[in-house]
Amino acid sequence: MVSGHLFHCRKNSWPPEEYISKNTLHLFDFDSAAPPEHAWRKKLNSQANLLREFSVTFREAIKMVRLGIRLWSYIREEASHGRKAPIDPFTRESCKPSASQGVPLGGMGSGSISRGFRGEFRQWQIIPGICKGSPVMANQFSPHSGILLLLQASEHPNSATTTPSNSLTHFSLIFVSREGMNKNYASVLAPGHHEGLGKADDEGISSWGWNLGGQHSTYHALFPRAWTIYDGEPDPELKISCRQISPFIPHNYRESSLPTAVFVYTLVNTGKERAKVSLLFTWANSIGGVSHLSGDHVNEPFMTAKGNPPVTFGIAACETQNVSVSVLPCFGLSEGSTTTAKEMWNKMVQDGQFDRDNFNSGPCMSSSPGETLCAAVAATAWVEPHGKCTVAFGLSWSSPKVKFLKGSSYHRRYTKFYGTSERAAQDLVHDALTNYKRWEEDIERWQSPILRDETLPEWYKFTLFNELYFLVAGGTVWIDSPLPATNITNSRHQLTNVENTDVKVSEAEVNSNHNAAVEHTATGCQRSVHLDPQNASEDVGRFLYLEGVEYIMWNTYDVHFYASFALLELFPKIELNIQRDFAKAVLSEDGRKVKFLAEGNWGIRKVRGAVPHDLGTHDPWNEMNAYNIHDTSKWKDLNPKFVLQVYRDFSATGDMSFGVDVWPAVRAAMEYMEQFDRDNDGLIENDGFPDQTYDAWTVHGVSAYCGCLWLAALQAAAAMALQLGDKAFAEWCKAKFLKAKPSFEEKLWNGSYFNYDSGSSSNSKSIQADQLAGQWYTASSGLPSLFDDFKVESSLQKIYDFNVMKVKGGKMGAVNGMHPNGKVDESCMQSREIWTGVTYGVAALMILAGKEKEAFATAEGIFIAGWSEDGFGYAFQTPEGWTMDGHFRSLIYMRPLSIWGMQFALNMPKAILEAPQINIMDRIHLSSVSSRSSHSETGVRKIATKAKCFGDSVFNCAC
């Protein structure tokens, strides 16, 4: 735990009063209108600088030329079948990435839309695996402010893969007039002359009033909410707060799946005259890219949330006693439209509202190809002198079916509650406007204990929450689908020698209430267990998230190892279901041939006993291992990572039924690895190629990274076997561990840290930041330390002194590799990179080892370089890593979610905190059975070559 004296003297890094006047803050001190004390902040007139992508060195390019040729050929082959390759470094968006992102909209897994800090709607991911970064400029808010408009878009996947357009608009606009005075203000609530805008005299959105300077307006982000404060812009006597609210609520598996968001405007009139304020929300009928030009789009107005026509988007505003709502169901962006964007703007400038008869207009004509349909909803209110008024807008989108390119279709999670009709958006936006205050209460209840903890630095508090943006904007799919068979041991074609493991757990334990104390009669150990209070048997569906928007692979497991702490902390049932999916995958095989691009050799797609790299790209769950750079069945980190994650989840949740479900796969994963122990010393050896998550960084012999993971997995598997009553396997694991540990230390320990590997290459003695990844999981799971305290302490201090502090004074994070002479290891591009998620993981281990000061200094480097005002501009798009000059690789990446590993270390589950009191390894007594080789009939390695498919498997095997 963090010591109370460490951080209490630290000044807030971004106090709100440096961005907003104290008087304005006081005016908004009601109804959650004021931004929080701890938040990421940005002035609206800040420049959104272009981001700089990394480039390989000449030497690296020479090494990778053959891979590049094979990858190019593979990408072209996939394109000929209408598919996007999961990794494509050759194709780039025409919209260059910039430091412009903000908090995304909506819950998880139903398609996402992000919103930049200046107000533009961007980063569209309605179709799984397709991300369009260009803003849709026709979507805006302005001061003139509706009821409900439903917009039906044609969701043709091909239309969303073409060149993005900057000519659309999703924005807010405002129109203000003061009683008895000749003061009128009209402006889009976004500053500057945005990209893609044409001449002011055209008929499109360029004719609108882009009058906001932004120098008195600020953005404040604390995911899943954001606040934009207009402190006297555009009307000097009008203060405006717009807060954005999305239903991301931990342990709430219903509302966290909803594709909807709310924008609540709080208006404060500081003038002496009544002000008529109209707020306008405009929306283009588009799903990103140039889909607005594909034709067959329809807009239709509604007075209530009960109707029948189909819908893709719903935009709405609450009508109250003081707020009147009007709509314009359809306007266009070019000359020849029935109503043009320019005419719409002029109508609002003149009248401040639309004709009420518009509600009876019915559906508009379907758009023609090349024609763009937009709609607007306006809310108008009188604000008395020194008075206040609140206006709420809602946005929803309904895309009920997920269809992957190779044929499988699923219904999204939210359809379980709202049905499969596109018109669900109607009910979604209605319920959002009804429930958002309760959502805010739940969000504040979740966040307050951390935000009020004075022992924590301010940057950590808001970065912790804001890194969760990835669970919405990183490409997530959450489907309403039953899980695979609830107990893997019941699979009809399961191998007998796996099926007959000695699991002595009573039925009462498996079915026990997860809120109660559970006595593990198999081990005699009593532990306190707590999961969320919902029904333990609730089916929460199945969940996918991308490795990154540039690496289109679902649930990439070597990276999930780092990111999974966030799901375990906030949505543990999703985390357990992901592990069940991988447990099922371990025991399956797919014999289809695949060409591996690094060497050009061939192998089978999925080997029984091997943990897959990912669950696929174009047919997840059914066609695994979309990654084809290397043969990941020969990787040395995936299987240990599976065992470690399973045991951590098992020990943290105390879910005995989960343990029983996945145990056969744990055994199979462990015994599969025995083939990599070449010299029978209990250790696994690497094979002279990048056979782990650092897939460009070659390893020879025993490695610190994979070897440490293996030692930790042996200990975790032994502990889990003992708790489940499989004593023979517990003894086998302990015997391996006792043999492997001294060999590991003898080959790698050099007196102050563990060498990178036991080979003789130029970087074998490098200091790897991630060398103690196995120890991180051991400590996170309540297991005995792998090494004595001196070795752990010394290694972490070496990493801090060299990998952290020798790189820009510790202001960039931990570089992956560093030579003992203090020079960065430049043997490959990954050794010289700083990986954001790895840095957070190292910091988490430092906390667990009692080095809190070093931990927060290490992690703060990621904040300074990525999130701070003086950084490189990676907020809400944290990349996999960056070089020492700040050039990024792979924006919007999964691994930085590992910051939640730090929070897990600070707030360990009670069951894990108590576990170290009993050294579970000391309770495993070795007998003659422990000397058995896994080549015996109890092993999986021997029979992996004669695998058969499951008859009821979700995986399509071609054995």
pLDDT of residue 371: 65
Q: Which residues pair with 41 in a beta bridge?
A: 220
C-alpha span between 637 and 777 (Å, rounded): 13
Q: Where are the beta strands (DSSP E) in 418-508?
A: 476-479
C-alpha span between 250 and 572 (Å, rounded): 9
C-alpha span between 591 and 112 (Å, rounded): 35
What's the whole-model pTM score?
0.88
pLDDT of residue 623: 95
Structural domains of the chain in order of their starting residue, each with its CATH number? 22-49+97-479 (no CATH), 542-914 (1.50.10.10)
The tokens for 9 are 């003297």
Please say whether the beta carbons of 493 and 694 come within 8 A: no
pLDDT of residue 956: 33
Residue ranges, the chain, pLDDT below 50: 1-11, 141-149, 151-169, 286-311, 483-535, 932-959
C-alpha span between 868 and 13 (Å, rounded): 9
pLDDT of residue 65: 93
C-alpha span between 58 and 788 (Å, rounded): 43
Q: Which SS3 state, helix, strand or coil, does residue 889 take? A: strand
pLDDT of residue 487: 35
Backbone phi, psi, residue 651, to 5°:
-75, -30
pLDDT of residue 403: 86
pLDDT of residue 897: 98
Within 13 A of 647's CA, how many CA atoms are on the CB side?
32
Question: Where do runs of H (alpha helix) occur along 686-748?
Answer: 704-724, 727-748
pLDDT of residue 143: 41
The residue to which tokens 């928007």 are assigned: 549
Distances from the Cα of 565 to the Cα of 249, 267, 539, 896, angstroms: 16, 40, 21, 11
Please say whether the beta carbons of 210 and 188 come within 8 A: yes
Q: Which residues pair with 314 in a beta bridge?
A: 150, 396
Burial of residue 536, with CB atoms counted within 10 A of its CB: 0-12 exposed, 13-18 middle, 19 or more buried = middle
Q: Which SS3 state, helix, strand or coil, does residue 301 take? A: strand
The residue to which tokens 């032994």 are assigned: 718
Contacts of 500 (CB under 8 A, 6+ apart): none
Burial of residue 577, with CB atoms counted within 10 A of its CB: 0-12 exposed, 13-18 middle, 19 or more buried = buried
Distances from the Cα of 80 to the Cα of 83, 85, 150, 550, 622, angstroms: 7, 11, 36, 20, 22
Q: Which residues pair with 327 in a beta bridge?
A: 377
Contacts of 96 (CB under 8 A, 6+ apart): 50, 51
C-alpha span between 260 and 398 (Å, rounded): 9
Pairing type for strands 374-383 and 323-331 reads antiparallel
The tokens for 132 are 């369009």
C-alpha span between 231 and 20 (Å, rounded): 7
Contacts of 532 (CB under 8 A, 6+ apart): 251, 572, 573
The residue to which tokens 């020079």 are assigned: 823
Burial of residue 64, with CB atoms counted within 10 A of its CB: 0-12 exposed, 13-18 middle, 19 or more buried = middle
C-alpha span between 511 and 268 (Å, rounded): 55
Q: Which residues pair with 178 in a beta bridge?
A: 275
pLDDT of residue 486: 34
pLDDT of residue 356: 83
pLDDT of residue 722: 94
